[in-house]
């Protein structure tokens, strides 16, 4: 089989790495790919947003399955474009992808189908939003409606911060047109977790749980990022809670989307808060999470291509997913200044030494291979992923590997996974 992966981040490297282990696959392309992906796939110089050229490439090269990594092409209709050309594609349709493309759509959907989530109000006028905030409890959560690369959420501790957030999103347009409308939510207390699930529009199978670390700095401080690390499984998601998530959230979501004529086929990302009342949805995404994918896929003991084919042909009920009993952690190494402004073009050293450590793999996010040297090209640069018999063992391996890697201004969190280790002693 020939596989095309669309995207060029750590998530796509992890997908390419896992797919390369399939006996069915003899060729992998990735558009546009990155420095690390180039070792296992042929990188194609087509941007993930260039839907027409991607479809033409897939047609010309007789691609058997195209896998969509990022949200932007999904929200912009890549799946429909491929299907119109009779090309097989893994990823939800444009109408189904609105579950991530619009937070307002997602919140209204959850309300209509009694899916547990925080209470909220929607605003298209900044002055009305500020007036509303005067009478709210704090902290409060302000979200840009549209896509903002995982950064469009601000948690305000008081009215002053909330007013500033509204003005920055709606007037200063720090997230561009994504902030034309906003959602203001009640703050819900608990522990965050992520559950990804495969859906063929009929059957829903959750993957192993994980926990992302969104804040830039240790102790969950600093601005929101695209994700600074993750570990799997998340012990806060017990077997009973996972059953509840499937029953009260995942299945009703897929059924509800069907009722709305938005059949959901692909991967569904449920960002959750595990509260005293039970799991509640913080957000949906219409694709594999990043960096959760880098933590989850190393534990999957099935052929990922088999599962994706089952989704495409609506035969997911035949799949029996098996998981390793081990633990993983992935730590993001970022450029200095991320998630704000950062330099590019800095040489990276030591990746080969890091990967000599047993059960460690380094997934690339923002790199290019230039004459055998890896150079930084993005804010999130590398994902150091380690597998261990326990979470503590995985943590030790990951940070031992990180000590081998060097590039100017390299920043990373030093506490990925420690919350679970301290709370649950695993």
Q: Which two tokens stand for residue 370?
A: 């230039």
Phi, psi of 127, rounded to the nearest 5 degrees: -65, -40
Vertex 423: Cα angle to 420 and 426 (nearest 5): 60
Per-residue pLDDT of the chain (426 residues; tens, 9 = 90+): 999 999 999 999 999 999 999 999 999 999 999 999 999 999 999 999 999 999 999 999 999 999 999 999 999 999 999 999 999 999 999 999 999 999 999 999 999 999 999 999 999 999 999 999 999 999 999 999 999 877 789 999 999 999 999 999 999 999 999 999 999 999 999 999 999 999 999 999 999 999 999 999 999 999 889 999 999 999 999 999 999 999 999 999 999 999 999 999 999 999 999 999 999 999 999 999 999 999 999 999 999 999 999 999 999 999 999 999 999 999 999 999 999 999 999 999 999 999 999 999 999 999 999 999 999 999 999 999 999 999 999 999 999 999 999 999 999 999 999 888 666 665
Give kind and range of the element (H or E) at residue 222: strand 221-224
Cα separation, 207 vs 27, in Å, equals 26
Domain ranges of the chain: 2-95, 125-180, 191-318, 327-424
- β-bridge mates for residue 232, sequence order: 328
pLDDT, position 425: 61
The CATH number assigned to the domain with range 125-180 reads: 3.30.1490.20
Give kind and range of the element (H or E) at residue 311: helix 304-312
Buried b (16+ CB within 10 A) or exposed e, 65-77: bbbbbbbbbbbbe
CATH fold for domain 327-424: 3.90.600
H, E, C per residue of 111-154:
HHCCCCECCEEEECCHHHHHHHHCCCCCCEEEEECCCCCCCCEE
Q: How many CB atoms lie within 10 A of CB 244?
A: 16
The CATH number assigned to the domain with range 2-95 reads: 3.40.50.20
pLDDT, position 424: 63
pLDDT, position 420: 81
Buried b (16+ CB within 10 A) or exposed e, 339-357: beebeeebebebbeebeee
pLDDT, position 236: 95
Q: Which two tokens stand for residue 296?
A: 């989850």
CATH fold for domain 191-318: D-amino Acid Aminotransferase; Chain A, domain 1 (3.30.470)
DSSP 202: S
Cα separation, 148 vs 1, in Å, equals 34
pTM score of the predicted model: 0.95
Cβ-contact 86, 259 below 8 angstroms: no
Cβ-contact 194, 294 below 8 angstroms: no
Cβ-contact 249, 116 below 8 angstroms: yes
């Amino acid at each position: 089989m020939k596989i095309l992966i669309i995207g060029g981040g750590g998530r796509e490297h992890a997908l390419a790495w896992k797919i390369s282990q399939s006996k069915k696959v003899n060729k992998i392309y990735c558009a546009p790919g990155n420095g690390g992906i180039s070792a296992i796939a042929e990188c194609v110089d087509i941007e993930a947003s260039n839907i027409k050229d991607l479809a033409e490439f897939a047609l010309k090269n007789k691609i058997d399955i195209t896998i969509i990594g990022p949200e932007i092409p999904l929200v912009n209709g890549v799946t429909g474009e491929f299907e119109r050309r009779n090309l097989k594609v893994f990823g939800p349709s444009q109408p189904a992808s609105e579950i991530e493309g619009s937070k307002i759509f997602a919140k209204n959907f959850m309300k209509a189908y009694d899916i547990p989530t925080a209470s909220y109000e929607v605003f298209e006028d900044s002055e009305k939003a500020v007036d509303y905030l005067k009478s709210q409890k704090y902290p409060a959560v302000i979200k840009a409606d549209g896509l903002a690369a995982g950064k469009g959420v601000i948690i305000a501790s008081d009215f002053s911060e909330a007013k500033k957030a509204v003005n920055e999103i709606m007037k200063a347009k720090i997230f561009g047109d994504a902030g034309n409308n906003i959602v203001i939510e009640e703050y819900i207390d608990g522990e965050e977790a992520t559950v990804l699930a495969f859906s063929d529009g009929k059957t829903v199978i959750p993957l192993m749980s994980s926990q992302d670390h969104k804040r830039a700095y240790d102790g969950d401080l600093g601005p929101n990022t695209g994700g600074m690390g993750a570990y799997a499984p998340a012990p806060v998601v017990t077997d009973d809670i996972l059953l509840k998530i499937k029953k009260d959230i995942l299945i009703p979501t897929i059924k509800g989307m069907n009722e709305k004529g938005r059949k959901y086929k692909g991967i569904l990302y449920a960002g959750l808060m595990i509260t005293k009342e039970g799991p509640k949805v913080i957000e949906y995404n219409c694709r594999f999470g990043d960096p959760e994918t880098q933590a989850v896929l190393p534990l999957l003991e099935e052929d990922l291509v088999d599962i994706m084919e089952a989704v495409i042909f609506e035969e997911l009920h035949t799949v029996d997913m098996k998981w390793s009993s081990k633990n993983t952690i992935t730590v993001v190494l970022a450029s200095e200044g991320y998630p704000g402004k950062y330099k590019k073009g800095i040489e990276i050293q030591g990746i080969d030494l890091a990967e000599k450590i047993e059960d460690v793999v380094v997934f690339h996010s923002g790199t290019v291979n230039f004459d055998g040297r890896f150079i930084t090209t993005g804010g999130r640069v590398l994902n150091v992923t380690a597998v261990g018999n326990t979470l503590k063992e995985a943590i030790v391996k990951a940070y031992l590997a990180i000590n081998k890697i060097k590039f100017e201004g390299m920043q990373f969190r030093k506490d990925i996974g420690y919350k679970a280790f301290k709370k649950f002693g695993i």
